């Protein structure tokens, strides 16, 4: 899609409304770019290795994958899951677990670079340990 540069004064509400019109993939990319911008502003003097790890840590599970996974978990809890949906849930769970495992690996690498523990790093970054139902 071609892009053009336009100068305009928009409120954050206007920007949010415009972002709401993006496709799921475009929105995910936009959020990633916003997180990158936020990371740059909060810590403009971070070493490149730390910046790279923070970007990877903040990527997370793609929104469409997380949404479908949550839907299927809800159906499983309601005991309305079909056999095909169960197979899909298993595949998505595997995919989510692999993404989360990579995320933890990146956090461990960042903790090592900062010479701290994973627990302290997570607290510093505002990342809470997951709770399981």
Place of tokens 């159906």: 75
Q: What is the pLDDT of residue 22?
A: 85
Whole-prediction pTM: 0.62
Residues contacting 95, CB < 8 A, separation 6+: 65
Which has more pLDDT, 4 or 122?
Answer: 122
Q: In this predicted model, which residue has the larger pLDDT, 100 or 30?
A: 100
pLDDT at 3: 63
Which carries the bigger pLDDT value, residue 104 or residue 4? 104
Cβ contact 119:127 at 8 Å: no
Instruction: Name the range with the highest mean pLDDT among 12-21, 25-34, 56-65, 96-105.
Output: 96-105
pLDDT of residue 131: 67
Give the pLDDT band (50/70/90) at residue 132. Answer: low
The residue whose two tokens read 């799921």 is 24
């Amino acid at each position: 899609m071609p892009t053009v540069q336009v100068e305009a004064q928009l409120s954050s509400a206007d920007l949010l409304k415009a972002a709401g019109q993006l496709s799921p993939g475009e929105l995910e990319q936009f959020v990633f770019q916003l997180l990158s911008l936020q990371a740059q502003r909060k810590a403009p003097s971070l070493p490149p290795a730390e910046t790279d790890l923070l970007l990877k840590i903040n990527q997370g599970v793609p929104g469409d994958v997380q949404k479908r996974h949550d839907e299927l978990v809800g159906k499983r809890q309601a005991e309305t899951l079909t056999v095909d949906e169960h197979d899909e849930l298993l595949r998505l769970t595997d995919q989510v677990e692999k993404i989360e495992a990579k995320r933890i690996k990146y956090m461990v690498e960042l903790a090592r670079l900062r010479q701290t523990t994973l627990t302290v790093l997570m607290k510093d970054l505002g990342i809470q340990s997951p709770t399981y139902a």
